Amino acid sequence: ALDNGKPYQVALDDDIAATVENYRYYAGWATKIIGQTIPISKDYLNYTRHEPVGVVGQIIPWNFPLVMSSWKMGAALATGCTIVLKPAEQTPLSLLYTAKLFKEAGFPNGVVNLVPGFGPEAGAAIVNHHDIDKVAFTGSTVTGKYIMRQSAETIKHVTLELGGKSPNIILEDADLEEAINGAFQGIMYNHGQNCSAGSRVFVHRKHYETVVNELVKMANKVKLGAGMEKETEMGPLVSKKQQERVLHYIEQGKAEGATVAAGGERAFEKGYFVQPTVFTDVSDDMTIVKEEIFGPVVVVLPFDSTEEVI
């Protein structure tokens, strides 16, 4: 909540709970790293053996700093690797505190190493270092392509989790109450700052008007405020840069002819708030339909047949 503005209760119920669950899960890996013995003939056999990759460089984003780090660090530690992790420059506090907990838990020096900093300096140093054997990155597709190219120079193992433009499809026979609620949560959860956010909602034309009206009602009811306030349902975006990015996309949508059915503006004079926004009258060639916005902005498009929408 202090690090990236998400509501305190969401951070407690979702991020903290998931982080604990992830570390407990990966702790179980440590006793299950076994190989296989495969008889080939009377006199010969093959066997497999799992060994640590070595030093793992990890670069995580700012939208779920604790959860992302637990996915990456839990797996690496359970398999006997050491870690050099760079948190996002916007959210170093969560990981600095996590590093303190690792120290208190008795981890030897050098097993978990935290390198706060900006991508072009700290991130690039991890990717290009000859003694780092694997890079695990979560973030933008553009940066992921760069990491893949650079890692090839030193033949590193690479794992990438990149952006997307996820669709939700509401069919003619859908349970509308469930579908509408799911579609709304799918885009507005974590302020839309989610690589799998359902930023496109395709609705069978029979239900289009109903779905739009309900999404608009839900968007207009969202309680915006500071993350530490109990009644807050949606906090600020992570930074001024991110706020400006989302607002730019909203203006781009308006300029290309889309209709703002709800929201569409910044909220409050102070803070990096953006109103939950619903766009209608959109087409597949519009920027807001094609590009990842990473904010509380959803576009709603009608369709007539399953074959058409798929």
- The one catalytic residue among 89, 161, 244, 292: 161
Residue 74: CB atoms within 10 Å: 18
Residue 234: CB atoms within 10 Å: 26
**Whether 161 is catalytic:** yes
Amino acid at the residue 95: L
Three-state SS at 285: coil
Please report the pLDDT score of residue 1 as a whole number.
76
Please report the pLDDT score of residue 279 as a whole number.
99
Name the strand (E) or helix (H) holding 51.
none
**Token representation of residue 128:** 């290009």
Residue of 297, 241, 294 whose CA lies nearest to 272 = 241
What the chain holds in terms of domains, given with CATH numbers, is 8-161 (3.40.605.10), 167-309 (3.40.309.10)
Give the DSSP letter of residue 281.
Answer: S
Predicted model pTM: 0.91
List the beta strands (DSSP E) in 76-165: 82-86, 112-114, 134-138, 157-161
**Token representation of residue 258:** 């889309």
What CA–CA distance (Å, rounded) separates 298 from 105?
43
Q: Which residues of the chain have pLDDT under 50?
A: none
Name the strand (E) or helix (H) holding 258.
none
How many CA atoms, within 13 angstroms, populate the side-chain half-sphere of residue 197? 23
User: DSSP states of 33-46 as a string?
Assistant: ----EEE-SSS-EE
Please report the pLDDT score of residue 2 as a whole number.
80
Please report the pLDDT score of residue 144 as a whole number.
97
Whose structure tokens read 């000859």? Answer: 130
How many CA atoms, within 13 angstroms, populate the side-chain half-sphere of residue 163? 19
